[in-house]
Amino acid sequence: MAKTNKFYITTAIDYVNARPHIGHAFEKTLADALARWNRLTGKKVWFLTGTDENAQKNAQAAKEAGIPVREFVDKNSAIFIELCKKLNLSNDDFIRTTEKRHVETAQKIFKKIYDKKEIYKGKYEGYYCTGCEAFITEKDLVNGKCPEHNREPELISEDAYFFKLSKYKDKLIKFVKTYIVPEAKKNEILARLENEELKDLCVSRANLGWGIDNPVDKKFKIYVWIDALVNYYSGANGNWPADVHVIGKGINWFHSVIWPALLLSAGIELPKKLLVHGYLNLGGKKISKSLGNVIDPIDLVEKYGEDSVRYSLLRCSVFDDSDYSEEILIERNNNELANKLGNLISRVSALAEKYGLKKCENKLVKKLKLKEIEKNMENFEIDKALNLIFDFIDRCNEYVQEKKPWESGDSKVLYELVDSIKSIAILLYSFIPSSSEKIAETFGFKLEFKEIKKEIKISKIKKAEILFKKIELEDKLNKLTSLREEKQNKSYKYEEIEGVMSMEEVDFSNWEKLELRVGKIEKVEDIENADKLYKLTIDIGSEKRVVCAGIKQHYKKEELKGKKIILFVNLKPRIMRGIESKGMILAAVNEEESKVILISPEKDIEIGARVR
């Protein structure tokens, strides 16, 4: 293929002083989604990730562990390799900076810049943060501490070699304007370059036993940030320049200023784009090993599966900081993967097995915003692309409800749905590859981008196995079965009707825990194979909710449409007949359940008003 058709993408390489955390998984999964997307669209991709093993924090951690440094980095690097496998990453190479190919390349570039007289010997006095492996100035400190690691830096004074970084200020300003994504991160670097003095950079450390030898003076080691940055070039396998470096915002300066300056000095072509992503936060704080609030991604994959972890991460904002937790993973798995995608695959495959397919024009797929999805991916807006794909999944689920193929047996409708699922699975292949492969196997199509525009071939379809299992979380408020067992402060008989909560069921001793709102029923729909349930769309002012209620034998559709009701809004969602039901309607129910009357507020009360 022509050079213009290649796509070389990298992640930052990770320190191996501890196990990987969820932030590492986030960055690697972002890069993997972009790598897979570009392969899918026909490009020759080289995807590089790896580990930074020459850092002093690795040596310190090994000392604390009481084992040789080499043994320590070998052991921990293997865990990062395991993470790549667990996440089903498609990386073409995994570089370790202790490898011969990298050591020789780093020394060669250092020597080339030295011979050009742009590295010189001097003396360094100032602050050094071990966490950043970086020299920092006093103005960078917050309350005397490094803001990135919340620790006081070390004040050092030593002989050192310096790189003439200041020489490249004007060229860097010009380069950065087209290099960094997003705009906000580009402007941060430009502000520093344009308004602050750009000092020469210390590129060596003295008296260290671990690291890459300085090729011009064996008393020194090459400063880790020069060593580490060179990995993108030493691991390129003939694919340089990089099309995109994917990094976290904490190392923006190193990649947008130091790295291109070194390349300019060494006469090496510059990379094309720098994608600077936000952090994952837990309780408002960045998740990091240094802060000790880590989530182990390997544990998550083993517990919930690779695609649920991948999807939950890729739903986070690319450019801004995002909250992340195990609870968020579970919510995204249950509400989006299981309820929306999984339910669509299950229902359509079962109906296709029963009624078959009949070829026709697929008008449904015209609702898919393919060009916008492609544009989002081109702009690295992965989260936005996923939003559009799931908007189309929602439309497909609505189409099933509108057309009711379980009643009509309409094989043309099923053809449209299966053909649309083909497009969905192909587009999701970059994000949840294993699940897309299962979908393709069920419906009989190839996971190739060009297949989106082709009509699906009719084949014999069997009902798919459950794609995503629901993950149960204990929720005391919604655990209605416990009401049967709790005797204290209760003198009522518990009677449960699907989607309806009777006055007898309410524990008024815990009234403050309940949130009831006035709602208005806007839409009433039948549910496939359900004799008792209606699917209701209820307006509660701030939003519209779908609720499944077992009142079909007590109310006609026309009696319900436009009716005001009382809705319990802070209950855990339940899956009923494959539909996520968000709330329960308050009703009066007699002993035999032969009569159910919905409790209605006065007509002049506004929608969304709270019931107290």
Q: Which of 28, 86, 102, 146 is catalytic?
A: 146
To the query of whether residue 384 is one of the catalytic residues in this protein, the response is no
| Among 311, 341, 335, 328, CA closest to 26 | 311
Half-sphere exposure of 192 (CA within 13 A, CB side): 17
To the query of whether residue 286 is one of the catalytic residues in this protein, the response is yes
Q: Which of 28, 149, 554, 582 is catalytic?
A: 149
- Which stretch of DSSP H or E encloses residue 324? none
Q: Which of 21, 102, 340, 535 is catalytic?
A: 21
User: Which residue has 């580490």 as its token pair?
Assistant: 228
Q: Taking the chain, what is the end-to-end CA distance rounded to the nearest angstrom?
A: 69
Q: Which of 289, 340, 422, 554 is catalytic?
A: 289
Residue 236 in tokens: 């390129």
- Report phi then psi at 24, rounded to 5: -65, -45
The DSSP secondary structure of 422-472, one letter per residue, reads HHHHHHHTTTSHHHHHHHHHHHT----GGGGGSPPPP----PPPPSSPPPP
To the query of whether residue 21 is one of the catalytic residues in this protein, the response is yes
Which residues make Cβ contacts (< 8 Å) with residue 186, sequence separation at least 6? 176, 177, 179, 180
Q: What angle do CA 104, 110, 111 make, to 5 degrees?
A: 90
To the query of whether residue 174 is one of the catalytic residues in this protein, the response is no
Residue 508 CA to residue 27 CA, distance in Å, equals 48
Q: Which of 24, 28, 277, 422 is catalytic?
A: 24
Residue 507 in tokens: 């524990």
The DSSP secondary structure of 83-151, one letter per residue, reads HHHHTT---SEEEETTSHHHHHHHHHHHHHHHHTT-EEEEEEEEEEETTTTEEE-GGG-BTTBBTTTTB
Q: Which of 28, 57, 102, 132 is catalytic?
A: 132
Which burial class, exposed, middle or buried, applies to 488 when counting CB atoms under 10 A from its CB (0-12, 13-18, 19+)? exposed
In 127-136, which positions are buried (b, 16+ CB within 10 angstroms) versus exposed (e)?
bbbbbbbbbb
DSSP assignment letter at 552: T
Q: Which of 57, 86, 286, 340 is catalytic?
A: 286
- HEC per residue, 470-511: CCCCCCHHHCCCHHHHCCCCCCCCCCCECCEEEHHHCCHHHH
Q: Which of 84, 129, 202, 548 is catalytic?
A: 129
Which residues make Cβ contacts (< 8 Å) with residue 1, sequence separation at least 6? 43, 44
To the query of whether residue 218 is one of the catalytic residues in this protein, the response is no
Q: Look up residue 157 and give its amino acid.
A: S
To the query of whether residue 129 is one of the catalytic residues in this protein, the response is yes
To the query of whether residue 146 is one of the catalytic residues in this protein, the response is yes
Residue 125 CA to residue 86 CA, distance in Å, equals 44
- Which stretch of DSSP H or E encloses residue 255? none
User: Which residue has 């309780």 as its token pair?
Assistant: 283
To the query of whether residue 199 is one of the catalytic residues in this protein, the response is no
427 within 8 A of 436, measured Cβ to Cβ: no
Active site residues: 21, 24, 129, 132, 146, 149, 286, 289
